[in-house]
Amino acid sequence: MKTSIYTISGELKGEIELPPVFESEIREDILRKAFRAATLSSRHPYGSSPLAGSRRVGHTTGPGQGVSRMPRVGGSSRAVLLGNTVGGRSPHSPRSNKVLYKKINAKEKKIALSTALAMTAKHELVSKRGHKFDQELKFPVVVEDEIENLSKAKDALDFLGNIGVVDDIERAKEGTKIRAGRGKMRNRKYRTPRSLLIVSTDPSKLNAFKSIPGVEICGAKNMTLRKLAPGGDGGRLVIYTESSVKQIGGN
């Protein structure tokens, strides 16, 4: 399987042999299973102290006193310790020692990553996911390594326009909305749709793309399902550099 290589000006300069992983069998069921496991495993444990509500001394006077037999503070009618009292322990609070990690078979995880990569090479699957691009674009999208020399966001946008994917940037920009819920007061007020993913052997050289709405960058050796298939849906619009394709084949 071969695909064309695009230059910075959007012209075709040759072909490159693709690794066999881009022809893998597509298993969307395993992809979603692996994505769910990865998402649940990324949760941060939280909970109250195991002693919360239990650091009091309470006594009960026993039956026959005309009051319920609940532990109370000495010399007062204030009930303590129990879960149904004000200031008592929490009966079903989150526990910080709960194991939130979700296991998944190593072979399934490998199949899921191969599926996510293979789906980026399918024109119809990328279009089905909602991305907008030039219909003559050849998938998977591979560009020359010269894009790593771009230092300005303006030049990066010109490059994306040359290969015909700038419409997807506009889709992400217009889709930016204020987040619903408490996240607005937790430094994540806006939610931006996912647009391009640019894969390179050295992501530090792609800083010109960081400020573009919806665009993400990652290295060929640290691609994850959360990057390749956000939300568990494969077919993301991915741009690979020529050297990153060779590195994927070397793995």
Residue 42, classified by CB atoms within 10 Å of its CB into exposed (0-12), middle (13-18) or buried (19+), is exposed
Rounded Cα distance between 189 and 196, Å, is 21
Q: Does residue 19 register a pLDDT over 90? A: yes
| Gap between the Cα atoms of 231 and 196, Å rounded | 15
HSE of 191 in the Cβ direction (CA atoms, 13 Å)? Answer: 8
Helices 153-163 and 166-174: crossing angle in degrees, nearest 10, is 120
pLDDT for residue 162 is more than 90: yes
Reported as a pLDDT band with limits 50, 70 and 90, residue 156 is: very high
What confidence tier does 251 reach under pLDDT thresholds 50, 70, 90? Answer: low
Please tell me the pTM assigned to this model.
0.85
Q: What is the mean pLDDT of the chain?
A: 93
Residues 6+ apart with CB under 8 A from 207: 151
CA torsion sign for 120, 240, 226, 134 is: negative
| CA-to-CA separations, 250 to 108, 175, 203, in angstroms, rounded | 21, 38, 18
- Domains (range + CATH), the chain: 2-24+115-250 (3.40.1370.10), 46-99 (no CATH)
What's the confidence (pLDDT) of residue 65?
84
**Mean pLDDT value of segment 20-43:** 95
Best CA proximity match to 25, nearest among 104, 111, 106: 111
